[in-house]
Each structure stands twice: as C-alpha cells, then as structure tokens.
Structure 1
C-alpha cells in the first residue's frame, strides 16, 4: 500500500449521518519544510484515486516535490477512503450516506491541521471534482491559502451537468444485476452502459471529428475506443462507489452551507486567494461560460482557458501531452505570481 490513512473518528456529515471510524486515505510527495510553508493540496476527481493524480507531479513541473510538500487526499466514496465498497455494516453498500464536497474538504482540513500541524497552504489545485473541492477550500477557508487553481470544473453543479449525470445514473441502475445496490456480482451491463453515456461527453465534438481517438490515442476504430477506453475505464470500478461520488458531484455547491446560506455570489466573493480558473475551451461538462460567471464574482481571479479540442480531458488525467504542458505552464505562472 503506497498511501496512508488518517483516522477521522466519528465524522458527522452535512446531511445528518455520522460515519463512525471514518478513514481518509492520502499520499504525500516531497518534504514538509520546517516552517510548514511549502504545502500544496491536490484533491482527487470522480472515480479517481491518488494514483490518477500523479501525472501532474514531478521534478521540474509546477508540482515539484523537491520544492513542495504535496498532499493528495482521496475523496470519500472513491474506494480508498471510507466508501460503500469498504465500509462495515450498517452503512455499507447502498446504505452508505450522502457525502457532500463540503464534507470532503472538512475532512481534508482536519488531516492537514491535525496530522501535519499545517496552518497555511501555498496552493490548492484540482481537476473536475477536484476543482469543485478546490473552490470549496477557497470559500470555506478563505484565509488559509495563497493560490487556487481549479481546472475543468466548477464551484456549483449546473442544471445541465446535473441532467447529464442523471443519464449516467439511469444507465448504471437499469441493469437487473444492480439489485438496488445489493449486487453479488458487479452490474457489468450497467457499468458498460454508463461508460457509453459518458463517452459522448468526456471528449468534444471536434475531438471525434478529427478522429483523435484513432489518430492520436491509437485505437483501431470508434467501437474499439468505446469498448477498450471507456468500458475499460468503468468496469473495474464499484457501482455503489460511483453512485456515491455522483451524488456528491450533483450536489456540489460552495454556497450550500451555514457560511453562505445558498448565496452563491457571496460565496464566490469570499474567495480571497489569487485564482486561475482554467476551463477546457471545449469541455461539455463545464463550459467556459460557467467559469466566466464565477470569475466575474471573484475578487482576485483570472479566466485562463485551456485552448484544446480534448474537451474535459484537456485537464486530465495526463491524456494529451500538449494540454499537460499548457496546464503546467499556467500553474508555474500562478505559483510565481
């Protein structure tokens, strides 16, 4: 096991349940400086684990472990932290409670302050649902960090994004093997169907028009891409875990808490950190217009789109080297600012 576990004890969730003996899995890179002033927090994304974030960490990159102490906390529900697939009865499987992004960031804040004694963070950065958590960090703990770098994600799940996720959920749960979450064997047909729904959204129209699945990624046909890439991506994952994280995504909103009482513009306005909001120009989940609206309500933010036809995957997980360099260059600029 290449990661560590932080015990949260009895962790009370925003929606009313308590996860007893709650576990937060995390991995660190680099060394914490004596002054504890070189910290970067890099949360995970929908279905991803810390392994899936490591492409953005490396010598000579913005997230350089020779300079920074980089903490990658795993989201609740992702299979390593407390999740439907690993949690004991009675909150196991489909009984696992609803977890918000607010809960995730509260847990991460406890890890960072209680385990490491860290009071200040250089930067919080994240892709997709990692970006959702990044925005939450900025709104929940506005005095704690210098920089924020949410890429290909949003501070609140849009209505259109919510509807897309309903399609993923419907495909997954239509499999008879799903059995309301009490499956003995994984609902493979449902996972494959969910993957096909996802496939139309993860990459842009231009990506498919230019046949980059074949020309650049090396798949032999469109069907080969749908099966080998997309179905292959979803099949190893636990269905209940996916649905837990999907609920977290759908209910993502930095203002949905006692701090802001649902006032989204107030929550955005409270973010003090210097922020680069970096949408993918052709992202179908998180279109640049949503990011422009966020930036307009943030006092210290810049709109810095990733100019790419790779859709949502312009931001990860390291799929296109050109986009990786563009993103890394922007992160270096932000860190140097």
Structure 2
C-alpha cells in the first residue's frame, strides 16, 4: 500500500537531539468533509506499519472510510517514518536519537494541522503503543480531541512493563552479530530470540493452556512459536526494534513541560470522552494499570476485552475481539 510523507525539516526532540530532515510517513482513507469535523487519527504500534492497522477499517465498521477521514501516521522508528534503518549518517543505526511518545505526537500534530488544516479530531484510537499515543494526544491537546478509544495500552509504561522490555532488548544485544548496532547483516539469532521472549508475554496463560493457537492454523506449539513468533520478528530491523523499545519504556503522558511528571494531573486534564479497552488477560499493559488511569480521567468508561488472547486481543487476529473493539468504538462515536 502506497503512503505519503510529511517533511518535518530538522525536528528537535525532547532529548535536545534532532532528526535532520525528519520524515513522517502516513496514509489517509476516506474524504475530509467541508467543515473538517470527520477526522480520525489511528497511530501505529511497536514495529507495526500503517498496513497493520487496516483490519479495524472498513465500510460498515466504526472506522468507516465512507463516513470518516482516517489518518494513520507511522511512528518514528518503524522503518517508514524516520528510523535507525533509513536515516543517513551520522544519525543512522546505533546513533539514531531517542524519541519519546510526546515527540511522535508533536510531529503528528504538525501533520494534522499543517497538511490538512484540521483543528478538531472526532476520535483518536490505537492499540498498544498506538494507545500510548492516543492518551498522549488527549493530554497534550485536550481541546482538540473529542473522543479517545485506547485499546490494550496505558497512559504510561508501568514498572513491570518496563522490565518485560528489558528482556526484548537483551535478546537482540546478546547476539554477537548485533555488533553494538553496527551490524551489516541482521542479528537473526537475536530476532528469533525476541520472538521466543515475546511469545510468553503477548498471549495469556489460558491461550496456551487451551491450545488456542490451533485456531490460527498451527499444528503444534513449536509450530506456533516458529511460524508465528519467530516469523513475526524476523521481518523487523533490530535497531528499529531497540529504538521503539526505548520509546515504549519511557512512555508517560506527564513527562513533558506541561505536566512536569504530575501523572494524575495529566490524566485529569483529559477532556475527551474516553472508552478505555484493556485486554482482560494482558500481561504487560495490565487491566489493573488501566483501571487506575481510567478512574482519574473525567468522562471515561472502563470496558475490558474478555479474551484469552492477552495483549493480542487488540491485534486483529481474533474476529470476536475485533467485533468487541469495533462495537465499543461505534458506541463511542454515536455519543
């Protein structure tokens, strides 16, 4: 699927570093109406690209391109927007600067306002790191965002989630082929190891106990671990994964000059009507963390996704979960 690129110029980050000639890749579906009131923003997730978001878009669905103008911006680090893998020296590969969720949202705000002249968003929604961006949008631009529907994600990365990502990073860095980020060939053993690490976290204990992987067409547990999980990460670039893991680990809607680390105040500032959709059995963006946040957001409803798919209840691989999310967003848009 073709995509467009918004040129950001030299984009200064929260860290004080910059991405020279920064690029924000994006796609749009549908038509922006005359008063520009039908815009929906749907950010991508860890390693995901815009094509990976299409499962939640379609005629008759909540995200219906015959009714709404849907913008899918690609996160920095995902290989399409500015990333370690596509940035020229000297900011390439291991020298790609650290990017926050806040940095991503500021870049997306420029796209939305400068490219399209949009001043209000009917909805911001997203899965996982897309949910992190959703919360960040609502806290950073509370007068611009009318509704949010973050699913399987939280407004900050809580400590246990941070620790989980340390294992993902270590799986890459312990492969000798990684060469501190200056590899000439992908560290294939490390990427396969990432898949093995992720397999135990992305899906629930019940998913494995009930052999739900059979519903996805796999013949055995090992077949699933190789075919789904190793295959998933072998398509990725190692430095891109590490860059986005850093972004994920430092996600916090209050970590910016507006809130200066006051997380509860940031949550309380959200004016959007919110539908909070955690995975009931999500092992790292836990429903307990999500419930803490939802209680501190005005006009928020907390509605867990009852699924044994864990975090991947929001990944578009189970039709039952997809319908649950779609129905919830339909209800939110009707309010």
What pairs up with 1:227-238 in 2 under 5 angstroms? 227-238=226-237
Residue 41 of structure 1: CA displacement? 0.1
What pairs up with 1:1-337 in 2 under 5 angstroms? 2-214=2-214, 216-316=215-315, 318-337=316-335
TM-score scaled to structure 2, two decimals? 0.99
**1:145 is paired with a residue of what secondary structure?**
coil
**1:121 is paired with a residue of what secondary structure?**
coil
Residue 300 of structure 1: CA displacement? 1.2
**2:275 is paired with a residue of what secondary structure?**
strand
**2:161 is paired with a residue of what secondary structure?**
helix
- Number of aligned residue pairs: 335
Rounded to whole Å, the distance in 1 between the matches of 2:98 and 2:194 is 21
**1:286 is paired with a residue of what secondary structure?**
coil
Please give the per-residue CA displacement for 1:43-74, whole angstroms capped at 9, x wherever unaligned.
00000000000000000000000000000000
Rounded to whole Å, the distance in 2 between the matches of 1:292 and 1:153 is 11
Rounded to whole Å, the distance in 2 between the matches of 1:267 and 1:38 is 26
> Cα RMSD over matched residues?
0.6
Rounded to whole Å, the distance in 1 between the matches of 2:255 and 2:146 is 23
| Aligned structure 1 segments of 4 or more residues deviating by more than 3 angstroms | none
Gaps of 5+ in 2: none
Please give the per-residue CA displacement for 1:225-249, whole angstroms capped at 9, x wherever unaligned.
0001000000010000000000000
Rounded to whole Å, the distance in 1 between the matches of 2:235 and 2:49 is 13
Residue 327 of structure 1: CA displacement? 0.6
TM-score scaled to structure 1, two decimals? 0.99
Rounded to whole Å, the distance in 1 between the matches of 2:194 and 2:174 is 10
Gaps of 5+ in 1: none
Rounded to whole Å, the distance in 2 between the matches of 1:239 and 1:118 is 35
Rounded to whole Å, the distance in 1 between the matches of 2:118 and 2:295 is 31
Residue 87 of structure 1: CA displacement? 0.3
Rounded to whole Å, the distance in 1 between the matches of 2:168 and 2:22 is 28
Please give the per-residue CA displacement for 1:263-318, whole angstroms capped at 9, x wherever unaligned.
000000000000001001000011111111001111111101111111001111x1
